[in-house]
Amino acid sequence: MFYGLNNDELKLLDQALDTINKLYPRIFAGDHLITVGRCMAFLDDQKFMAAYNKNVRNRQERSLLWRLHTLAWAGRHCSRLPGSFVECGVYKGFCSAVLTDYLDFSTAQASRSYYLYDTFEGIPVDHLEGSPVDKDSYKEADLYEQVCERFRPHPNVRVIKGRVPDVFSVQEVPDQIAFLHIDMNSATAEIGALEVLFERVVPGGMIIFDDYGWQAYRAQKDQENAFMDARDYSILELPTGQGLVVKREA
Ligand SMILES: C[S@@+](CC[C@H](N)C(=O)[O-])C[C@H]1O[C@@H](n2cnc3c(N)ncnc32)[C@H](O)[C@@H]1O
């Protein structure tokens, strides 16, 4: 999907991509990313594509394929480390559903937990500063119940309703984290999550920021850079717009 283009502009873009596609058989065009002449080997990973196709429910989710590849790659790496998997900002659970299927979470990862934290009522009003998202986004009747149902086949997935970071003082938080996906579209909430969770990420563990490189979410990038600079880390900006940090020994 390319937001901000009208129908005529989208038609022109489609024509240009059709022409390029004749020269280069694999192009990626979606999620504000166009690549030409890349291997895109994730298209050949049958297990990944099966997990993605099983869980994708609409055009917007379909456009996130390359971001899902990043998460699946990181999840696979982290599944060999001690610690839990954590997502802050779950919405309908699309990303985590792809990962739990890709990694056979309830069987191959049965001894670890996957924590999913969300208000399931959208971004708290006092966390909206600097976010391009409005107060009515991500609100849907029975969202929490729907997500609990979605992950029912995975008894080691814990769906936790509450506001980050406050929820960490009243609900269970893992001591050790192997994989941390932060996707709350709010700088205040994401820094609040890092302040509690960063120290719990094990060496070799990964933190993925969903919106890090997106211009509209600049407030997140600026505050996350400051958080990481203070700890002598820097965040890798990926072409998908995600940010990546790999935790080191010390
Ligand atoms: C972009 S959506 C997450 C998308 C999700 N990762 C997926 O796989 O589709 C952002 C989510 O963050 C949640 N959120 C925002 N601020 C929050 C906060 N302070 N505490 C808990 N959840 C929050 C919203 O309720 C919303 O569901």
Which pLDDT does position 52 carry in this prediction? 98
CA torsion 132-135-139-141 (nearest 10°) is: -170
Which pLDDT does position 204 carry in this prediction? 98
Expressed in angstroms and rounded, the spacing between residue 14 Cα and the centre of ligand 1 is: 32
Distance between CA atoms of 210 and 185, rounded to whole angstroms?
8
Distance between CA atoms of 232 and 49, rounded to whole angstroms?
36
Domain extent listing, the chain: 60-246
Tell me if residue 103 falls in helix, strand or coil.
coil
Contacting residues for 208 by C-beta, under 8 A, at least 6 apart: 70, 71, 74, 180, 181, 182, 242, 243, 244
Nearest to 101, CA basis, from 45, 36, 54: 54
Q: Is the CB of 48 under 6 A from ligand 1?
A: no
Which pLDDT does position 24 carry in this prediction? 81
DSSP string, 228-242: HHTTT--PEEPTTS-
Q: Is the CB of 167 under 6 A from ligand 1?
A: no
Q: Which amino acid is at 127?
A: H
Nearest to 118, CA basis, from 60, 182, 74, 58: 182
Residue 179 structure tokens:
């994989």
Distance between CA atoms of 73 and 47, rounded to whole angstroms?
12
Distance between CA atoms of 181 and 88, rounded to whole angstroms?
6
pTM: predicted TM-score of the whole model, two decimal places: 0.95
Q: Is the separation of the CB atoms in 196 and 173 below 8 Å?
A: yes
Q: Is the CB of 190 under 6 A from ligand 1?
A: no
pLDDT tens-place values along the chain, 250 residues long? 677 788 888 888 888 778 878 788 889 989 999 999 899 999 999 999 999 999 999 999 999 999 999 999 999 999 999 999 999 999 999 999 999 999 999 999 999 999 999 999 999 999 999 889 999 999 999 999 999 999 999 999 999 999 999 999 999 999 999 999 999 999 999 999 999 999 999 999 999 999 999 999 999 999 999 999 999 999 999 999 999 999 999 8
Tell me if residue 39 falls in helix, strand or coil.
coil
C-alpha pair distances (Å), 170 with each of 160, 166, 167, 196, 241: 11, 7, 5, 13, 32
Fold entry, domain 60-246:
Rossmann fold (3.40.50)
Phi, psi (rounded to 5 degrees) for 216: -65, -20
Distance between CA atoms of 97 and 53, rounded to whole angstroms?
11
Q: Is the CB of 220 under 6 A from ligand 1?
A: no
Pocket residue to mutate for ligand 1, from 67, 99, 114, 138, most atoms within 8 A of Cβ: 138
